[in-house]
Chains A and B, each alone.
Chain A
Amino acid sequence: MAVRDRIEVLEQPAEQRKNNFNEVALGYNYDMAKEEAKRCLQCKVPTCISGCPVGIDIPGFIREIVKENLEGSFKILKSYNYLPAICGRVCPQEVQCEGACVLSKVGKPINIGALERFVADWASENNVQFENTEYSKEIIIKNNKKRVAIIGSGPAGLTVASELGKRGYQIDIYEALHEFGGVLIYGIPEFRLPKSIVKKEIFDLEKLGVNFLKNIPVGYAIPVHEILEDYDAVFVGVGAGTPKFMGIPGSELNGVYSANEFLTRVNLMRAYKFPEYDTPIRVGKKAVVVGGGNTAMDAARSALRLGADVTIVYRRTEAEMPARKAEIHHAKEEGIKILTLATPVKYVGDENGNLIAIECVRMELGEPDESGRRRPVFVNGSNFIIEADTVIEAIGTEANKFLLSQFPDLKTNKYGYIITNEYGQTSIPKVFAGGDIVTGSATVILAMGAGKSAAQGIQKFLED
């Protein structure tokens, strides 16, 4: 059987986009979406669904596109996933739904992400609202007296809010920062996920009666015991936002950033629009980004857009890079250089404390480690110097201990992540948790999946 070619999405050309922060992928128009939707075989046993962590009825929403019933398609999507415009953009579909699509065995899988995004954007442009018809008025009124506090407004917390909000619970969602969305707002850049879209999807939740409270660092502005007393259940979705530094000499020099700081300045504080916005950022002429994950790609592509010549330094080879292949491809198209099998060992500064160079060492791959990837080892005496005035370390994050330091009764594992059962229930029965603070850094959709299970757990806890 011949498989028709996948309809490729439109993109901003590399030469143009490397000078702006506008979205790179422009998505499908209606005709393209219909053409792509028609490729779907409408499998009797759709393998794609099993690849989706929240189990969206994928053939269902695609079928409605073919039938030109976009409103129906949107309703299907939204009943499984409250943030389709976001997931359609940032999910690693190649290892989820699209990776599981039968067509991937014989050709290119259906572009499920782009179709999801198309439908969600269409609904937003046409002001189509999601009506909460899943639950009867009686259920909603009955639940109305129960109060649930959600700490952290990342994808995990937002999903709990949508699941419980639909059922009528009284939800207060507390966020320490001045904008809602967690990594969606401060981490993932505008050129991959426009902030206006995040805001729109989040504030849709207000229609479910969710109460949003910003600037409230729970544990400090409200002591944990007060939260425990005032609410029937609590969900902790504070993420894994604490950056790790390599801790090599010179880490305190000016020009040395964690990717979190760099991206927070750029995304949350809009430093790329300085001085229209007040927060400054330093990107010199030559920037080096250390790491090979999505965060490294985001930081590198942001630095490039701020005018720097950018090199990614990664200790293994490109094959081991954990970033999405599409993003590595995008980065290269934009002119970012990748130096593999090397790692920094020292930052060199001038008398004013400004970074001027990085001493690196060559690596080679040895035996496989626990992750199955070959372990990089130093090649003795192979040290060399790269000139750089900015370096961004994107070597991972760890558990956010900010709230947990105020919550000593909550059991965590040896890495500092919260221990839960399959329903997200923690060592304290009325406290549930999910997302990166349970699993360590993962993905948006896994945080949402965890939010879904925790919402079920909270519901069971409150209704049984």
Chain B
Amino acid sequence: MFEHSDTINKIISKRKLSKGIHELWIFNPFVSKHTKPGQFVIIKVSEKGERIPLTIAETNGDNFRIVVKAVGKSTYELCSLKQGDILFDVAGPLGKPSEVKFYGNVLVIGGGVGIAAIYPIAKALKEVGNKLTVIIGARTIDDLIMKDEFEFADRVIKATDDGSSGQKGTVIDFMEEELRNSKYDIIWAVGPAIMMKFASEVADKHNLPIWVSLNSIMIDGTGMCGGCRTLIKNEKDGEIKYVCVDGPEFDGRYVDWDSFMKRLNQYKEQEKIAFERYLDQIGDISWL
């Protein structure tokens, strides 16, 4: 039952969802069998690779799905793999599952690649009987991933910055509109840090709890290093939490966004070196 298999971590299928965003289905029974919405894996793509966290977007039997946005060396490398390739290391599921239960009216917001992360949460929230409104957004209609996968929701708003999908504006614009017009009990928002920050400010104004999924830099993902630590504010000062084991979801109203976003830039210089070196090796990336 717990035997090593040659095909563990094999890429079963791969599909391009939009420019720079790819979907992979990976064979790994350990991950697939026990994943709950909100959890993630840590992947090391190659032998000398780094460990990067990615949300588990769905599971099906022994396979699980990830949706990856190419932003630097490791994600480019991951996106350039082909069906049948085998990932070096996959560990998970990790992190605390989302608190899925009946709340009443739930607003779920996904921005960019965060749409993939919000998908299993939205689905689970619907399954336990919540009334669900989903806002997904991207820059243009071509960037909007998984736009036809949220049919299970009571209402889906598709937002594009340029209006190319009918509704023009950012997810934050539509969020504000929703909160003005309807009564909600709780919010989930996943996307770029800056989007989650703004969403949290809006939620705060309406005195509504808002779960965000923090995408901090991680190494082990098991609470052993503190690299993912984030300042969560409370009445007095603040408390250090480990995103990998205490999260990744926190109430966005209490996240110290300023320091969180600065920590994301910790390795800017080295990331640039690694990426340029990688580009030199692979050359053309127009397929992405």
Residues of chain A at the chain B interface (Cβ within 8 Å): 172, 176-178, 186, 211, 213-217, 220-223, 230, 241-243, 245, 247, 251-254, 257-258, 260-261, 264-265, 269-270, 273-282, 352-353, 400-402, 405
Tell me the bound Cα distance from A232 to B1 in angstroms: 15
Task: Output the nearest chain B residue to A227 by Cβ-Cβ distance.
Answer: B2
- The verdict on A217 contacting B277 (CB below 8 Å), with A223-B34, A278-B74 known, is no
Contacts of B259 in A (CB 8 A): 252-253, 353
Tell me the bound Cα distance from A222 to B231 in angstroms: 30
Quick check: B50 and A178 within 8 Å, CB to CB? Answer: no
- The verdict on A264 contacting B220 (CB below 8 Å), with A222-B2, A252-B259, A278-B73 known, is yes
Q: Which of B1, B39, B224, B256 contacts A264 (CB 8 A)?
A: B224
Tell me the bound Cα distance from A96 to B91 in angstroms: 38
Tell me the bound Cα distance from A419 to B192 in angstroms: 44
A-contact 0/1 string along B219-260, CB 8 Å cutoff: 110111111011100000000100001000000000010110
Can you list 25 contacts pairing A with B, beta carbon distance less than 8 Å? Answer: A178-B44, A186-B220, A186-B224, A215-B90, A216-B30, A217-B92, A220-B34, A220-B39, A222-B2, A223-B34, A230-B2, A241-B223, A243-B224, A243-B226, A258-B227, A274-B274, A277-B50, A278-B49, A279-B51, A280-B267, A280-B270, A352-B262, A353-B265, A400-B224, A402-B223
Quick check: B92 and A220 within 8 Å, CB to CB? Answer: yes
B180 in contact (CB, < 8 A): no
Whole-angstrom distance between the Cβ of B68 and the nearest chain A Cβ? 15
Whole-angstrom distance between the Cβ of B285 and the nearest chain A Cβ? 17
Quick check: B50 and A258 within 8 Å, CB to CB? Answer: no
Quick check: B274 and A280 within 8 Å, CB to CB? Answer: yes
Cross-chain pair count, CB within 8 angstroms = 137
Tell me the bound Cα distance from A135 to B247 in angstroms: 48
Tell me the bound Cα distance from A211 to B224 in angstroms: 24
Tell me the bound Cα distance from A353 to B263 in angstroms: 7
Contacts of B227 in A (CB 8 A): 257-258, 261
Contacts of A276 in B (CB 8 A): 48
B181 in contact (CB, < 8 A): no
Quick check: B225 and A282 within 8 Å, CB to CB? Answer: no
Q: Which of A252, A274, A280, A405 contacts B231 (CB 8 A)?
A: A252
Task: Output the nearest chain A residue to B95 by Cβ-Cβ distance.
Answer: A220
B48, B94, B265: residue with the most chain A Cβ atoms closer than 10 Å: B48
Q: Which of A176, A214, A264, A277 contacts B48 (CB 8 A)?
A: A277
Residues of B137-158 contacting chain A, CB below 8 A: none
Residues of B3-44 contacting chain A, CB below 8 A: 3-4, 30-31, 34, 39, 44
- The verdict on A214 contacting B89 (CB below 8 Å), with A221-B34, A251-B240, A402-B245 known, is yes
Task: Output the nearest chain A residue to B9 by Cβ-Cβ distance.
Answer: A215
Quick check: B225 and A247 within 8 Å, CB to CB? Answer: no
Quick check: B93 and A269 within 8 Å, CB to CB? Answer: no
Quick check: B48 and A401 within 8 Å, CB to CB? Answer: no
Quick check: A221 and B224 within 8 Å, CB to CB? Answer: no
Contacts of A230 in B (CB 8 A): 1-2
Quick check: B51 and A275 within 8 Å, CB to CB? Answer: no
Tell me the bound Cα distance from A215 to B87 in angstroms: 12
Whole-angstrom distance between the Cβ of B273 and the nearest chain A Cβ? 6
Tell me the bound Cα distance from A323 to B265 in angstroms: 34
Tell me the bound Cα distance from A245 to B226 in angstroms: 9
B201 in contact (CB, < 8 A): no
Contacts of A254 in B (CB 8 A): 262-263, 265-266
Residues of chain B at the chain A interface (Cβ within 8 Å): 1-4, 30-31, 34, 39, 44, 48-51, 73-74, 88-94, 219-220, 222-227, 229-231, 240, 245, 256, 258-259, 262-263, 265-267, 270-271, 273-274, 277
Quick check: B219 and A275 within 8 Å, CB to CB? Answer: no
Q: Please give me the 7 A-B residue pairs with the lowest Cβ-Cβ distance, nearest first.
A: A353-B262, A280-B270, A261-B225, A278-B50, A215-B91, A221-B30, A178-B89
Quick check: A217 and B267 within 8 Å, CB to CB? Answer: no
Known: A221-B31, A221-B91, A254-B262. 10 other contacts (CB 8 A): A176-B220, A178-B89, A221-B30, A242-B223, A242-B224, A275-B270, A279-B50, A280-B270, A402-B223, A402-B245
Quick check: A252 and B263 within 8 Å, CB to CB? Answer: yes
Quick check: B226 and A252 within 8 Å, CB to CB? Answer: no
Q: Which of A172, A215, A279 contacts B219 (CB 8 A)?
A: A279
Quick check: B265 and A252 within 8 Å, CB to CB? Answer: no
- The verdict on A176 contacting B262 (CB below 8 Å), with A220-B34, A261-B219, A278-B274 known, is no
Q: Which of B2, B91, B225 contacts A243 (CB 8 A)?
A: B225
Quick check: A217 and B94 within 8 Å, CB to CB? Answer: yes
- The verdict on A260 contacting B224 (CB below 8 Å), with A252-B230, A275-B273 known, is yes
Task: Output the nearest chain B residue to A216 by Cβ-Cβ distance.
Answer: B30
Contacts of A273 in B (CB 8 A): 48
Contacts of B90 in A (CB 8 A): 215
Tell me the bound Cα distance from A230 to B271 in angstroms: 44
Contacts of A211 in B (CB 8 A): 2-4
- The verdict on A172 contacting B2 (CB below 8 Å), with A221-B30, A282-B267 known, is yes
Contacts of B245 in A (CB 8 A): 401-402, 405
A214, A245, A254, A279: residue with the most chain B Cβ atoms closer than 10 Å: A279
Whole-angstrom distance between the Cβ of B95 and the nearest chain A Cβ? 8
Task: Output the nearest chain A residue to B242 by Cβ-Cβ distance.
Answer: A242
Task: Output the nearest chain A residue to B266 by Cβ-Cβ distance.
Answer: A254
Contacts of A214 in B (CB 8 A): 89
Tell me the bound Cα distance from A220 to B220 in angstroms: 14
Whole-angstrom distance between the Cβ of B157 and the nearest chain A Cβ? 34
Q: Which of B2, B39, B51, B89 contacts A213 (CB 8 A)?
A: B2
Tell me the bound Cα distance from A273 to B277 in angstroms: 14
Tell me the bound Cα distance from A400 to B223 in angstroms: 8
Task: Output the nearest chain B residue to A172 by Cβ-Cβ distance.
Answer: B2
